[in-house]
Structure 1
Amino acid sequence: MTIFTGPPSSAIRNKPISEQLKRVLASAAQSAGIDTIIITSGGQDVLGDGPRRTGSTRHDRGRAADLQLVVRGTTLSFTNQSAPAAMLAFIEAAAAAGATGIGAGVDYMGPRTIHVGFGKSIDDHETLTWGANGSSRNAPQWLRDAAEAGWGAPTALAESDVVASDLAGAETPGRYAVIARTGLKLRGGPGPDFGSEKTLPLGTELTVTQFGGAWACVDVEGDGVLDGYVFASFLAPVVSDHAEGGVA
């Protein structure tokens, strides 16, 4: 069982992390063999509701944490070029379990601390990595690779935490596009236990015929034949380039 410590009472972001985030972190720690998670910066006052806050809204409501990982009494550390296998496994598992914002870098928060959490609001589902200066361009390659591997293979935990508002408007059948950076697995049924038929690349357009919980039944070929199921939170509605009402 993973031990959680922090955040320290003296930290600006000293509020507890959300239960959803704690489930994600605990699941990732179990997968990666992490013994202790030290939270150095946790939740903060919601913007407009209190003064104890800093930076962006990612930490509001405890939806993000800056943390360190401990294995057998040793706090893991990394460079901008490489990271320990246990840290890579943790990041991949956290992304697979539903974390969408992950940051790290020696020039960002030092060689031991990583940021793991969700978006800037409950409606922000963009998957993003970053490094120094909070810039995606500065994200270490090992961080990008580990996170994208996880986002490409979401786990049952990620699916169980998806609620209607998390589907970003994906409740109505119609045309959608894949927004997962590393592609989206097409499965034979609505769940990770079903085999993956293939991976649909980023930008693939398809027709959703029906939504069921966290999954969407899709027609990829556009011929009216059902091809399988995909994880719905990695779809976005396709916006037509043509306005209704005729050509001007």
Structure 2
Amino acid sequence: MTILTGPPRDAIRNQPISDELTRVLQTAAEAAGIDMIRINSGGQDPPGPGARRTGSTRHDHGRAADVQCVVGGSTLTFTDQSAPEAIVTFVSAAAAAGATGIGAGVGYMGNRTIHVGFGVSTSDHSQLTWGAGGRSATAPQWLRDAAAAGWAAPAPAPPQPAPAAAPGRFVVIARDGLKLRGGPGTSFGSERTLPAGTELTVVARSAVDPAWVRVDVEGDGLLDGYVFAAFLAPVAPDDLHEHAPEPRPGDN
């Protein structure tokens, strides 16, 4: 399962992306063999006094993200003339999965960052690509071709969540840690990140979105929140024995 990181807290658009966009990015990254999607710019504040906003309304409600693709620890790059196969596949798969607005270009956001999202509003379903200056005419040809191929193709099946459904002990395997959220989705806030290696108890899958599970982190039988199941792995039986309490005299 591809890891999604960001957006940075100090970014202007530092709000979570929508569940729909998360699904699109995960699906596209899996199809392209991308190890990690780095979100440099995510959702933005709603209009109002003191709101952190910039550019168009595409990023409202977390419906767009500016991302970089990482494979083997290296961020993939492209030019206006060509792009690696993984980038082309990512764009095509994102379009096939439902993205309708895709922008890239050296003169747009540099040679690493791609805009992926939807329309300027929830009622805007127009399919567009663009490049420098945010203009369709400047979109690199490889970007146009990749997106067009995706929009003409049937949507790929979304990635299946890891089998972390059954109640039991699990361990966090996300390299950068796993956010503990107040509900089953990235739209719910998170005030805590569980470091890699953290053990917890999965209580049940979410009835709203089975890709998320309810967990007890403290081991006290109380629910602490929800985490994304794909970044959990079952605790090995030997590890369970290591953490088992020592028998007391008279227990046998």
* Post-superposition CA distance 1:98-120 (Å, at most 9, x none): 00000000010000000000000
* Post-superposition CA distance 1:16-39 (Å, at most 9, x none): 000000000000011000000000
Q: Distance in 2 between matches of 1:49 and 1:83?
A: 41
**Identical amino acids, percent of aligned pairs:** 70
Does the Cα contact within 8 Å between 1:98 and 1:157 map onto a contact in 2?
no
CA positional deviation for 1:74: 1.0
How do residues 1-248 of structure 1 correspond to structure 2 at under 5 angstroms?
1-48=1-48, 51-155=51-155
Does the Cα contact within 8 Å between 1:57 and 1:120 map onto a contact in 2?
yes
What does residue 180 of structure 2 align with? none
Q: Distance in 2 between matches of 1:70 and 1:17?
A: 19
Divergent runs of 4+, >6 A? none
Q: Distance in 2 between matches of 1:5 and 1:110?
A: 19
What does residue 208 of structure 1 align with? none
Q: Distance in 1 between matches of 2:119 and 2:156?
A: 20
Cα 1:39–1:27 change in 2 (3 A) is same
CA positional deviation for 1:45: 1.2
Q: State the TM-score, normalizing by the size of structure 1.
A: 0.62
Residue aligned with 1:120, SS: coil
CA positional deviation for 1:52: 0.8
Cα 1:92–1:98 change in 2 (3 A) is same
How well do the aligned residues superpose, as a CA RMSD in angstroms?
A: 1.3
CA positional deviation for 1:157: 5.5
Does the Cα contact within 8 Å between 1:7 and 1:41 map onto a contact in 2?
yes
Amino acid at match of 2:27: S
Which consecutive unaligned segments of at least 5 residues does structure 1 have? 159-248
Residue aligned with 2:59, SS: coil
What does residue 226 of structure 1 align with? none
Q: Distance in 2 between matches of 1:157 and 1:120?
A: 26
What does residue 172 of structure 2 align with? none
Which consecutive unaligned segments of at least 5 residues does structure 2 have? 159-252
Amino acid at match of 2:72: R
